[in-house]
């Protein structure tokens, strides 16, 4: 019976991961909050690993949806060169967060993985989203090939902010990209692509630290969570790209602020 409950929890967290990874509302923050409610009866080290490995399902969804755009093995030379350049820019943008994550992983896990940090970051970046959208600047970059290596590095520097739980990796990169002059659509697309090496690297690093040693129940929990995250991510990515064609990001800012305030209220008063 206990195993069934753990698998149900993995399914719930997979749904949460699939939705919140791509919307700029912080997947890690939501997972920490939800896991506080539906606590796993598993070791803390496995739960931390689960939070990272469940992202693999979300990453596969990006690869499936954008395979044509991301596939570098194309017949036409121009398309092939454009795709290779895109991957090189993604690699450049990955470097800052990769270095910072490697250097400060233990401090971040120990000091910042808690509901209060999540709540504060939800509120802070919610306000940033609203202020950024209020400026309503005309974007300078409206096509992926227009993203320069310098711009890609700048977006990568913003991605470092997402190492703090509650910030949102997609939120930080989208804020950075829009602030640096891209359209909302291009900011979102580049954020999706940037997630591939960033999250794959984090997942394999966690696997190496865990020694690839899991119990049969832990493997089942990982599989259920990852498959659920994959299926839900397919919907979430399509939803966001359709939504931002006619809307801005303010609604996500308001959502973040309300959720952050609720988390603080329950933490301190309930």
Element (H or E) spanning 262, and its range?
A: helix 250-269
List b or e across 199-223, with b for residues whose CB sees 16 or more CB atoms inside 10 angstroms.
beebbeebbeebeeebeebbeebbe
User: What is the sign, positive or negative, of the torsion defined by CA atoms of 98, 110, 204, 15?
Assistant: negative
- CB count within 10 Å of CB 90 equals 21
What pLDDT was estimated at residue 22?
93
What pLDDT was estimated at residue 53?
83
Average pLDDT in the 230-256 region? 94
pLDDT greater than 90 at residue 134: no
Q: Is residue 44 exposed (0-12), middle (13-18) or buried (19+ Cβ within 10 Å)?
A: exposed
Tell me the pLDDT band of 146, cut-offs 50, 70 and 90.
very high
pLDDT greater than 90 at residue 3: no
* pTM recorded for the entire structure: 0.89
pLDDT greater than 80 at residue 64: yes
Residue 178 CA to residue 133 CA, distance in Å, equals 9
**88 is in which domain, residue-wise?**
2-269
What pLDDT was estimated at residue 123?
96
Cβ-based neighbours of 206, under 8 Å, separated by 6 or more: 48, 49, 52, 53
Cβ proximity of 33 and 263 under 8 Å:
yes
Cβ-based neighbours of 250, under 8 Å, separated by 6 or more: 129, 130, 133
Tell me the pLDDT band of 136, cut-offs 50, 70 and 90.
low
- CB count within 10 Å of CB 22 equals 29
Residues above pLDDT 90, as percent of the chain? 59
Residue 198 CA to residue 187 CA, distance in Å, equals 16
pLDDT greater than 90 at residue 102: no
What pLDDT was estimated at residue 249?
93
Backbone φ/ψ region at 168: left (φ over 0), alpha (ψ -120 to 50), beta:
left
Tally the domains of the chain.
Answer: 1
Residues above pLDDT 70, as percent of the chain? 98
Average pLDDT in the 251-258 region? 96
Distance from the Cα of residue 40 to its chain's centroid: 22
Residue 133 CA to residue 98 CA, distance in Å, equals 29
Angle, CA of 71, 140 and 137, to the nearest 5°: 125
Output the CA–CA distances (angstroms, integers) from residue 127 to 116, 140, 256, in the order listed.
17, 23, 8
70's tokens:
């991301």
pLDDT greater than 80 at residue 270: no
Cβ proximity of 129 and 177 under 8 Å:
no
Residue 92 CA to residue 153 CA, distance in Å, equals 6
């Amino acid at each position: 019976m206990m195993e069934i409950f753990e698998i149900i929890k993995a399914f719930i967290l997979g749904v949460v991961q699939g939705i919140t990874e791509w919307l700029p509302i912080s997947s890690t923050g939501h997972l920490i909050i939800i896991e506080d409610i539906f606590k796993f009866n598993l070791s803390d080290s496995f739960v931390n690993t689960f939070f990272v490995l469940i992202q693999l399902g979300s990453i596969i969804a990006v690869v499936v949806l954008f395979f044509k755009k991301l596939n570098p093995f194309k017949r036409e030379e121009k398309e092939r060169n454009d795709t290779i350049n895109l991957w090189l820019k993604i690699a450049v943008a990955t470097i800052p967060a990769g270095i910072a994550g490697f250097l400060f992983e233990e401090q971040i896990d120990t000091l910042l993985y808690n509901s209060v940090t999540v709540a504060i970051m939800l509120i802070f970046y919610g306000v940033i989203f609203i202020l950024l959208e209020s400026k309503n600047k005309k974007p300078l970059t409206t096509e992926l090939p227009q993203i320069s290596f310098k711009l890609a590095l700048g977006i990568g520097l913003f991605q470092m902010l997402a190492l703090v739980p509650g910030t949102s990796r997609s939120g930080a990169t989208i804020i950075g990209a829009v602030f640096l002059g891209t359209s909302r659509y291009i900011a979102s697309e580049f954020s999706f692509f940037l997630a591939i090496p960033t999250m794959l690297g984090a997942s394999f690093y966690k696997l190496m630290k865990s020694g690839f040693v899991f119990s049969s129940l832990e493997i089942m929990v990982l599989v259920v969570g990852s498959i659920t995250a994959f299926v839900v991510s397919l919907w979430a990515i399509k939803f966001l790209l359709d939504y931002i064609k006619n809307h801005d990001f303010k609604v996500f800012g308001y959502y973040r602020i309300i959720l952050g305030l609720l988390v603080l209220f329950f933490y301190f008063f309930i």
